[in-house]
């Protein structure tokens, strides 16, 4: 494809998968399906955990945060992506690109920290069960959530502002399907070593520090589980942590492979597919993982469906 045809006086051009028109058609269908699954799944988790009094616990408070985050995360990317996949216009306005850049970085950072907070919650639940509700009181949970969102916002503001201040000398072709920080750095027309080092340093703080805390938490959890004498108790403890550990493995596995490998070790198309998995497929898997492995959530969703069914039936009877 002749990139000179993608010249725009305003905003940026997202080349994405434009070199593969047939692939774009397939991707548009796949992305639409997963976006629908993400919305249905995460909305159901939020409603179930809000409406069922049995789920008014710290674990489900943080799970609601995760589901809300996933809804915002996908919505900041997928609508624009579908517009670019469906038609010949691959442009995104400057304001739209900047907004996407800040929101993408903010929510991605938030998920890293939120998963660490959720692992601490599981650590207290397993290792200090008698003091769980005292330690993880609503006031502390709220403070932890606000801290996570605030630190992530500050990280986004610093990194994205540094990146946007780089001179681009008229370059506006982004070889990606979204306005992502590495793609923005690549179109700069000066040496970007300082910015790249800043990104790497803050990346270690935001990605590897929470991961280290998660691993430490699960180290203590594993020791506590092994000390439980009954098989039923061990099984319950494993089920309590299994969902979170699955989500952590999927999320961090993809992130580390994407961002903490040498710059030229993966092809550009491979990087796009990994980003696609991380931004679109992972948010749709989170509610499935938590509901499939969690009896309380399953029961709550059944109640939600039953109430909705009875409400619809009552309305029909009133009409007739």
> How many CB atoms lie under 10 A from the CB of residue 153?
17
Average pLDDT, the chain: 83
Each domain of the chain, given as residue ranges in start order, spans 12-308
Residue 197's pLDDT is 84
CA distance 86 to 82: 6
Residue 154 corresponds to which tokens in the numbers above?
């500050």
Predicted TM-score (pTM) of this structure? 0.85
- pLDDT of 312 higher than 70: no
- With b meaning 16 or more CB within 10 Å and e meaning fewer, what string describes 31-54? beebbebbbebbebbbbbbeebee
What is the pLDDT, as a whole number, of residue 293?
Answer: 66
- The helix/strand/coil state of 180 is coil
pLDDT tens, 143-192? 999 999 999 999 999 999 988 888 888 788 888 888 888 888 888 888 88
Per-residue confidence (pLDDT) for residue 9, from 0 to 100: 45
Q: What is residue 121's predicted lDDT score, i.e. its pLDDT? A: 93
Tell me what pLDDT residue 309 has. Answer: 53
% pLDDT > 90, the chain: 32
Beta strands in the chain (DSSP E): 12-14, 91-92, 173-174
**pLDDT at residue number 43:** 92
Nearest 5°: the CA angle 124, 126, 130 is 70
Per-residue confidence (pLDDT) for residue 316, from 0 to 100: 60
pLDDT at site 68: 95
| 280 against 68, higher pLDDT | 68
Fold of 12-308: Rhopdopsin 7-helix transmembrane proteins (1.20.1070)
pLDDT value at position 84?
87
Separation of first and last alpha carbons in the chain? 60
What pLDDT does residue 320 have? 55
| For range 21-27, the mean pLDDT | 85
Distance, CA of 59 to CA of 64 (rounded, Å): 9
Write out pLDDT tens, residues 196-245: 888 888 878 888 889 899 999 999 988 888 888 888 777 777 777 877 88
Take residue 301 and report the two structure tokens written for it: 């969703």
Query: Which residues on adjacent β-strands are paired with residue 173?
Result: 13
Tallying the residues shown for the chain, one arrives at 320
* C-beta separation of 103 from 79 below 8 A: no
């Amino acid at each position: 494809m002749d990139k000179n045809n993608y010249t725009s006086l305003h905003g940026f051009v997202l080349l994405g998968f434009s070199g593969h028109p047939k692939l774009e058609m397939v991707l548009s269908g796949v992305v639409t399906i997963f976006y629908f699954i993400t919305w249905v799944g995460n909305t159901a988790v939020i409603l179930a955990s809000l409406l069922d009094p049995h789920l008014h616990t710290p674990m489900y408070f943080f799970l609601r945060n995760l589901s809300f985050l996933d809804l915002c995360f996908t919505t900041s990317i997928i609508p624009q992506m579908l517009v670019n996949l469906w038609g010949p216009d691959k442009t995104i306005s400057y304001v739209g690109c900047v907004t996407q850049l800040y929101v993408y970085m903010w929510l991605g950072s938030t998920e890293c920290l939120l998963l660490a907070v959720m692992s601490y919650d599981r650590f207290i639940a397993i290792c200090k069960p008698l003091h769980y509700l005292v330690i993880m009181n609503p006031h502390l949970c709220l403070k932890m959530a606000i801290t996570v969102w605030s630190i992530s916002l500050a990280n986004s503001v610093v990194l994205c502002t540094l990146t946007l201040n780089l001179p681009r000398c008229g370059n506006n072709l982004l070889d990606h399907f979204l306005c992502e920080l590495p793609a923005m750095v690549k179109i700069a027309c000066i040496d970007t070593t300082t910015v790249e080092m800043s990104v790497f340093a803050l990346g270690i703080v935001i990605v590897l520090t929470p991961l280290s805390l998660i691993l430490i938490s699960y180290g203590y959890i594993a020791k506590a589980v092994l000390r439980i004498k009954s098989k039923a108790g061990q099984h319950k403890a494993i089920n309590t942590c299994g969902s979170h550990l699955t989500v952590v493995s999927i999320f961090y596995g993809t992130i580390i492979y994407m961002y903490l490998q040498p710059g030229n070790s993966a092809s550009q198309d491979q990087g796009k597919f990994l980003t696609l998995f991380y931004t679109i497929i992972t948010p749709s898997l989170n509610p499935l993982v938590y509901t499939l492995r969690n009896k309380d959530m399953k029961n709550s969703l059944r109640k939600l469906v039953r109430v909705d069914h009875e409400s619809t039936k009552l309305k029909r009877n009133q009409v007739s």
